[in-house]
């Protein structure tokens, strides 16, 4: 009998693609707070914080869990976002332990390393996770990973595969990063190259599929080879690059955000200025995955499709 896999965030961008990719080889149970736009096997509307999750895992005899559900952009209710990201993950893990699930795959983020001026040029999985207290997403990812480390120590029987992707791009991607590319000009910070690493969405799915098939465990960065500086991104977009001093941008965003004229707060400066650049050496050498696209190729692939549908002009 094929294993039964529970996928949280099954109606999301990656979740729905993963369900479609795996459903011919495994029994899929998907949960989300939204209805999926495509078939995801057995779908159950469920919040990852709901106590009923433990009953779902037990009733469907779940063998493996792929935990994708997360708050990608702030809802402006930080307590709610923390509750979903941190306490929601805790609820997922407790359900796994209670039902003796064999493997837990979690998509963390390169943001767990944080956005810091003294970060290594290329971040290795052994580098410290510092997050940023003032950036909720980065803070939550750090806290989640600290909790998962405790679980690995106390419950080694639950195999963990923790993935830290860079910016995920595909043919139809829309996220906080692609919003920056849609502007009439590209905003940069004076004195910073703001390098980006990209991972093709199909490579991300391929890593998860390989991890399930081979029952792998460990922690791995996910990024295509190489990186693109903000200047190279602007050049490929065919848009002017406007580099502004950090202090000036912080001041402008402080006023605009306070007046409700911008959804971006001053912490956005760190988000752009100190990009975490992820080394993929362990992914290739230890996990054994052959990436299909470099960071440069991923960006060009995304850009071609985004221009075709009018997302980027």
Would residue 238 count as lying in a domain?
A: no
d(Cα 86, Cα 108) in Å, to the nearest integer? 11
Query: How would you list the strands of the sheet with 4-8, edge to edge?
Result: 42-45, 27-32, 4-8, 64-67, 103-107, 159-165, 218-222
Q: Which residues contact 14 (CB under 8 A, 6 or more apart)?
A: 68, 107, 168, 201, 204, 205
Determine the pLDDT at residue 286. Answer: 98
The CATH number of whichever domain residue 151 belongs to comes to 3.40.50.720
Q: In this predicted structure, what is the pLDDT of residue 247?
A: 87
pTM tops 0.85, yes or no: yes
Total number of domains constituting the chain = 1
> Which of 38, 311, 294 is CA-nearest to residue 175?
311
Is residue 262 one of the residues assigned to a domain? no
269 located within any domain: no
State the pLDDT at residue 263.
65
Closest by alpha carbon to 8, among 34, 26, 32, 37?
32
- Does an H or E element contain 172, and which? none
Look at residue 256 in the predicted model and tell me its pLDDT: 63
Of 128, 39, 54, 139, the C-alpha closest to 93 is 54
pLDDT tens, the chain, 313 aa long: 899 999 999 999 999 999 999 999 999 999 999 998 888 889 999 999 999 999 999 999 999 999 999 998 777 788 999 999 999 999 999 999 999 999 999 999 999 999 999 999 999 999 999 999 999 999 999 999 999 999 999 999 999 999 999 999 999 999 888 988 999 999 889 999 999 999 999 999 999 999 999 999 999 999 999 999 999 999 999 999 999 888 888 787 776 666 665 666 777 788 889 999 999 999 999 999 999 999 999 999 999 999 999 999 8
Domain range for 80: 4-177+198-232+277-297
Phi-psi region of 41 (alpha: psi -120 to 50; beta: other; left: phi over 0): left
Residue 12 lies in a domain: yes
In a domain, 270, yes or no: no
Distance CA 180, CA 224 (A): 20
- pLDDT score recorded for residue 261: 58
| Cβ atoms of 288 and 189 closer than 8 Å | no
């Amino acid at each position: 009998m094929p294993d039964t896999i529970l996928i949280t965030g099954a109606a999301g961008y990656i979740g729905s693609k993963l369900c479609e990719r795996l459903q011919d080889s495994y029994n899929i149970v998907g949960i989300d707070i939204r209805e999926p736009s495509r078939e995801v096997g057995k779908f159950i509307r469920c919040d990852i914080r709901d106590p009923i999750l433990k009953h779902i895992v037990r009733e469907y005899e779940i063998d493996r869990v792929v935990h994708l559900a997360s708050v990608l952009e702030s809802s402006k209710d930080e307590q709610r976002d923390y509750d979903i990201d941190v306490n929601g993950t805790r609820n997922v893990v407790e359900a796994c332990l209670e039902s003796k699930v064999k493997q837990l795959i979690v998509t963390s983020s390169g943001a767990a390393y944080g956005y810091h001026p003294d970060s290594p040029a290329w971040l290795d999985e052994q580098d410290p996770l510092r997050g940023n207290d003032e950036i909720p997403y980065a803070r939550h990812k750090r806290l989640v990973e600290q909790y998962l480390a405790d679980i690995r120590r106390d419950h080694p029987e639950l195999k963990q595969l923790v993935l830290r992707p860079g910016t995920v791009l595909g043919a139809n991607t829309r996220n906080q990063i692609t919003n920056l590319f849609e502007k009439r000009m590209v905003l940069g910070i004076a004195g910073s190259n703001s390098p980006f690493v990209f991972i093709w969405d199909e490579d991300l799915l391929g890593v998860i599929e390989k991890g399930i098939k081979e029952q792998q465990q460990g922690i791995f960065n996910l990024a295509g080879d190489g990186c693109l500086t903000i200047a190279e991104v602007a050049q490929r977009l065919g848009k002017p690059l406007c580099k502004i001093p950090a202090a000036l941008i912080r001041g402008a965003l402080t006023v605009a955000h306070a007046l409700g004229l911008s959804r971006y707060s001053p912490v956005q400066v760190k988000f752009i200025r100190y990009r975490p650049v992820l080394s993929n050496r362990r992914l290739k050498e230890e996990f054994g995955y052959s990436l299909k696209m470099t960071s440069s190729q991923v960006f060009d692939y995304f850009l071609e499709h985004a221009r075709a549908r009018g997302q980027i002009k």
